[in-house]
C-alpha cells in the first residue's frame, strides 16, 4: 500500500464523513427542528473532544 493511497483514503473518508454530518445538520434546520439541530451539533463536538481526550489519556497511560 502506497502512502499516497493512505493519505487519499483518509482525506476522502474524512471529507465524506463531514459532508454527511453537515447534510444531516442542514436537514434538521430545514425541517424546522432548530433545537434538535443545535443539540446534535453540540453533542457531536463535545463527544468528539471527549473521546479525543480519552484517547490521548489512554495513550499516555500505556506509554508510561
Q: How far is CA 35 from the centre of its chain?
A: 20
Rama region for 32: left / alpha / beta (φ>0; ψ in -120 to 50; rest): left
* Cβ pair 28, 40 in contact under 8 A: yes
Choose among 9, 42, 37: nearest CA to 23: 37
Per-residue pLDDT tens over the stretch 28-44: 999 999 999 999 999 99
Full DSSP string of 37-64: HHHHHHHHHHHHHHHHHHHHHHHHHHH-
What pLDDT is stored for residue 2 in this prediction? 64
pLDDT confidence tier of residue 13, bands split at 50, 70 and 90: confident
Predicted structure pTM score: 0.67
Q: What value does the mean pLDDT of the chain take?
A: 88
Phi, psi of 32 (to 5 degrees): 85, 10
Amino acid at each position: 500500500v502506497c502512502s499516497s493511497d493512505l493519505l487519499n483514503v483518509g482525506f476522502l473518508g474524512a471529507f465524506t464523513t463531514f459532508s454527511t454530518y453537515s447534510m444531516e445538520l442542514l436537514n434538521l434546520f430545514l425541517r424546522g427542528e432548530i433545537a434538535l439541530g443545535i443539540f446534535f451539533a453540540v453533542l457531536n463536538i463535545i463527544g468528539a473532544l471527549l473521546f479525543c481526550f480519552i484517547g490521548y489519556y489512554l495513550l499516555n497511560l500505556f506509554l508510561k
